[in-house]
């Protein structure tokens, strides 16, 4: 029986992970669950899975959750804060950690799990985006395999027969092909993109995801981060990573070998498929996902990426070419930009512009240690916030006022 900590239990990956686990009670034992602020859902999860620990974002939330659990005679101990996340990620009684905290917040607890030699199921792509070289170095030192959960990287992992850097089969590899759905706005004209609302950008046609990743999908920044993740995870050169638009989200990624053979992983757009594969690796288990009916699918389309529509993808390649902390800077800026868009402070089209501005403003440094990464992450966030106040918010306010007058 595998004993698990699930970092980010109330997000879409965490919820789907628990759904798969619930179907195999004799295979998996949940030791710890974490959430930032969604204690209502975390409370329900604790009632069902009875973990030893639960972790939340603040002391007040921990006290509230502890009281509710105590009233139900649930013995789960509730902790709070970053140190608590690292603690449950490295517990002696845990052998597997699902790293599904969104954004930079997942970096330190995921590193703690790697250093403690846990089997890490990596759903937090930002960890590799921010600190790829350090992550790979720590994984090699701990002699563990990072199993990717992202549908695209999990597909590549399957096509490479469960091999990742440095002992993978890349010497026989020509390239990998990451597929992108194009997000919720792929049918909008370029002229319509500026006026896009957060609600529209979050309406993904294929996947059910959280707001942050839905926006990243619409800008293709999510795919850019996946390029960075693949670069580090599979030890590839930049010219070995290609991205194509695949609106159906059926082919999750492809691997082309030197002899011209191409292997692809296909499946319904359901995250329970890569999650179950990661949980049971190297075995396979039932996950209740819908099976793929190729006759109903009927056609599979593959299109070139429109760089004018998706400038964020090129920013990821640009950051990798710059090297050092450039990918850290890009990730930090993007987190601020996406939140600003969700809060109505900038336009949808400003996300890429802001990311470009911050990447040009803050010079990259060599990734010598974790402190450098955290410093540049913080600097990029502050610069992005300052730019929003000085150059972006005022323009949005003027546009809103002008539209109100017009009406």
Average pLDDT, the chain: 91
CA distance linking residue 103 with residue 113, whole number of Å: 17
The CA distances from residue 42 to 81, 110, 206, in Å, are 15, 20, 26
**CB-based burial label for 81 (10 Å; 0-12, 13-18, 19+):** middle
Question: Residue 397: is its pLDDT beyond 80?
Answer: no
Instruction: Give the mean pLDDT of 262-286.
Output: 95
Measure the CA–CA gap between 234 and 157, rounded to whole angstroms.
9
pLDDT tens for each residue of 325-356: 999 999 999 999 999 999 999 999 999 999 99
What CA–CA distance (Å, rounded) separates 265 from 254? 7
> Tens of pLDDT along 78-90?
999 999 999 999 9
Q: For domain 2-144, give its CATH number from 3.40.50.720, 3.40.800.20, 3.10.520.10, 3.10.110.10.
A: 3.40.50.720
Confidence class for position 174, pLDDT limits 50, 70, 90: very high
Please tell me the predicted confidence (pLDDT) of residue 185: 80
Q: What is the pLDDT of residues 92-122, one digit of tens each?
A: 999 999 999 987 889 999 999 999 999 999 9
DSSP characters over 169-182: SGGGEEEEEEEE--
pLDDT computed for residue 191 by the predictor? 83
Mean pLDDT of 39-55: 98
> According to the model, what pLDDT value does residue 392 have?
80
Of residues 3, 2, 7, the one with CA closest to residue 89: 7
Structure confidence at residue 400 (pLDDT): 45
How many CB atoms neighbour CB 399 within 10 A?
13
Q: Identify the residue whose tokens are 């109903």.
A: 296
| Whole-number pLDDT of residue 103 | 79
What sections of 249-364 are H helices per DSSP?
A: 272-280, 294-297, 311-322, 326-342, 350-361
- The distance from CA 290 to its chain's CA centroid, rounded to whole angstroms, is 23
Mean pLDDT to the nearest integer, 225-249 = 94
Domain coordinates of the chain in residue numbers? 2-144, 150-308, 323-407
CATH 1.10.1740.10 correct for 323-407? yes
Rg (CA), the chain: 21
Banded model confidence at residue 164, pLDDT cuts 50, 70, 90: low
pLDDT class for 207, splitting at 50, 70, 90?
low
Note the pLDDT of residue 384. Answer: 97
C-alpha of 353 from chain center: 22
The whole-number average pLDDT for the span 287-314 is 93
Among 7-11, 46-50, 166-170, where is mean pLDDT lowest? Answer: 166-170
Quote the CA–CA distance of 253 and 121 in Å, as a whole number.
18
Model confidence pLDDT, tens digit, residues 4-46: 999 999 999 999 999 999 999 999 999 999 999 999 999 999 9
pTM of the model: 0.89
Q: What is the pLDDT of residues 365-396, one digit of tens each?
A: 999 899 999 999 999 999 999 999 988 865 55
Average pLDDT over residues 143-160: 93
Q: Specify whether the CB–CB gap between 338 and 216 falls below 8 A.
A: yes
Q: What percent of the chain has pLDDT over 70?
A: 93
Q: How far apart are CA 114 and CA 140, in angstroms?
A: 9
């Amino acid at each position: 029986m595998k004993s698990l900590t699930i970092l980010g239990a109330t997000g879409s990956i965490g919820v789907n992970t628990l759904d798969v686990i619930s179907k195999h009670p004799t295979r998996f034992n949940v030791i710890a669950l974490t959430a930032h602020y969604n204690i209502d859902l975390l409370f329900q999860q604790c009632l069902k899975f009875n973990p030893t620990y639960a972790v939340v974002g603040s002391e007040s939330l921990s006290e509230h959750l502890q009281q509710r659990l105590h009233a139900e005679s649930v013995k789960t101990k509730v902790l709070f804060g970053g140190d608590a996340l690292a603690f449950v990620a490295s517990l002696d009684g845990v052998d597997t950690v699902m790293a599904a905290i969104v954004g930079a917040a997942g970096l330190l607890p995921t590193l703690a799990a790697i250093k403690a030699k846990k089997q890490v199921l990596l759903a937090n792509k930002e960890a590799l985006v921010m600190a790829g070289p350090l992550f790979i170095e720590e994984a090699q030192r701990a002699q563990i395999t990072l199993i990717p959960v992202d549908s695209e990287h999990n597909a590549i992992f399957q096509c490479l027969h469960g091999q990742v850097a440095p002992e993978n089969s890349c010497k026989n590899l020509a390239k990998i092909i990451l597929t992108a759905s194009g997000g919720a706005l792929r049918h909008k004209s370029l002229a319509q993109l500026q006026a896009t609302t957060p609600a529209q950008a979050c309406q993904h046609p294929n996947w059910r995801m959280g707001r942050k990743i839905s926006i990243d999908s619409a800008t293709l920044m999510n795919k850019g981060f996946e390029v960075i993740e693949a670069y580090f995870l599979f030890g590839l050169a930049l010219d070995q990573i290609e991205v194509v638009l695949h609106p159906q989200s059926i082919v999750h990624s492809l691997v082309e070998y030197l002899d011209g053979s191409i292997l692809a992983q296909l499946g319904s757009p359901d995250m329970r498929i890569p999650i179950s594969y990661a949980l049971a690796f190297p075995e396979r288990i039932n996950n209740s996902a819908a099976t793929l009916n190729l006759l109903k699918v009927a056609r599979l389309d593959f299109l070139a990426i429109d760089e004018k529509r998706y400038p964020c993808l090129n920013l990821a390649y640009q950051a990798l070419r710059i090297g050092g902390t450039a990918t850290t800077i890009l990730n930090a800026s993007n987190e601020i930009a996406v939140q600003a868009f969700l809060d109505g402070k900038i336009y949808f089209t400003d996300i890429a512009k802001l990311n470009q501005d911050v990447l040009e403003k803050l010079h990259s440094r060599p990734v010598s240690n974790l402190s450098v990464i955290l410093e540049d992450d913080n600097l990029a966030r502050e610069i992005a916030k300052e730019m929003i106040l000085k150059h972006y918010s005022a323009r949005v306010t003027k546009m809103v006022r002008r539209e109100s007058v017009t009406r």
